[in-house]
Structure 1
Amino acid sequence: MSQRMNKAELKKLFKAFDNGNGHLSLAEIDRAVTYFYPQFGTNKQAIMRAYKEADTSGNGFVELNEFGKIIDLLLYYDDISKVFQQLDRNKDKRISFEEFKKGHEILDIEYDDNVQLKQEFNSIDTNHGGYILFDEVN
């Protein structure tokens, strides 16, 4: 999947995803991604995030004019999901502060102190649940 498809390529791919009604539901997108791009097909969180963000009209469907965005977003959220899964050491689908801190150490990202790191963690933890969920990561 290329992030830089021309309009003709996007239209052709859109038609391959579409059931013929001119717009894509989440089910159509999920089915097509699983079929055409199996490397993304198992990453349901990335598909859902891309679908929600690409639906800029808010009508519950991805239209042809929104389709290029979903292609880019699938790649983006798949990458984020991979990092998220690496940080989620205990596989509970959320990142604790300790996992977040360990991730910084593994990636060799320097931080001044735990206070600064905790502030960064809290800025990502938008629901203030004490964990970072995939839906909170951008």
Structure 2
Amino acid sequence: MADKLSKEEIKKIFDSFDTNGNGKLSYSEIENTVLRTYPQFNNKKKVIMRAYKEADASKSGYIEIGEFGLLLDSLNHFYELYEIFQKIDIDNDGRINFDDFKKGRKVLKLTEFSDAELKKEFEKIDLNNGGLILFDEFCEYAVKRNLVKQVH
């Protein structure tokens, strides 16, 4: 997405996010602008937060112009991952339990896994050992497997 935009276009979009004009974007500015401008992100604040954390390479708590292209790309990438996550989260509670995971094995391209292998894979993804896969855990897994490109 961002790699297809010129520097001038990126700066113009950045300025539309920078509501206080200080040359850096807070999470609040990003969230407000994304939700106002892109209605498909409603009810997907997890996506916005994940993209914000990914793009904050300096760990300053702000997105600066040099990080903004990564923010735009990350919003797109994590939106796609969230769409996959929702296909697997059958009861739509924002978490994937093992039954959801088994039913979603086709979406994840894990059809060759036995139930025992699938359980091991589930446990590898469940980083906090809570018995459920949260969106952040799913993202870690999906990035390692390059899942977006496999599914599309």
Same fold (TM over 0.5): yes
How do 1:37-52 and structure 2 match up within 5 A?
A: 37-52=38-53
Q: What is the total number of aligned residue pairs between the two structures? A: 137
Where do 5+ consecutive residues of structure 1 fail to align? Answer: none
Which residue pairs with 1:7 in the alignment?
7
How do 1:41-120 and structure 2 match up within 5 A?
A: 41-105=42-106, 109-120=110-121
TM-score for both structures, normalised by structure 2: 0.83
Separation in 1, partners of 2:6, 2:78 = 21
Q: Is the deviation greater in 92-101 or in 81-90?
A: 81-90
Separation in 2, partners of 1:27, 1:108 = 36
Separation in 2, partners of 1:129, 1:104 = 20
Separation in 2, partners of 1:92, 1:35 = 24
Shift of 1:76: 0.8
Asked if residue 33 in structure 1 is aligned to residue 45 in structure 2, the reply is: no
Structural RMSD (CA): 1.6
- CA offset digits 1:101-126 (Å, max 9, x no partner): 10014667422311211121111111
Identity of aligned residues (%): 46
**Structure showing the higher strand proportion among its residues:** 2
Separation in 1, partners of 2:107, 2:34 = 32
Assess if the C-alpha contact under 8 Å between 2:88 and 2:104 holds in 1.
yes
CA pair 106-16 structure 1, distance change in 2 beyond 3 A: closer
Where do 5+ consecutive residues of structure 2 fail to align? Answer: 140-152
Q: SS in structure 2 opposite 1:21?
A: coil
Paired amino acid for 2:18 = D
Assess if the C-alpha contact under 8 Å between 1:111 and 1:117 holds in 2.
no
Shift of 1:91: 2.1
Find runs of 4+ consecutive structure 1 residues off by over 3 angstroms. Answer: 105-109
Separation in 1, partners of 2:102, 2:85 = 13
TM-score for both structures, normalised by structure 1: 0.90
Which residue pairs with 1:128 in the alignment?
129
Separation in 1, partners of 2:54, 2:68 = 11
Separation in 2, partners of 1:22, 1:38 = 25
- CA offset digits 1:79-138 (Å, max 9, x no partner): 111111221112221101110010014667422311211121111111111110001122
Separation in 1, partners of 2:113, 2:86 = 25
Assess if the C-alpha contact under 8 Å between 2:95 and 2:133 holds in 1.
yes
Separation in 2, partners of 1:26, 1:108 = 34
Paired amino acid for 2:8 = A
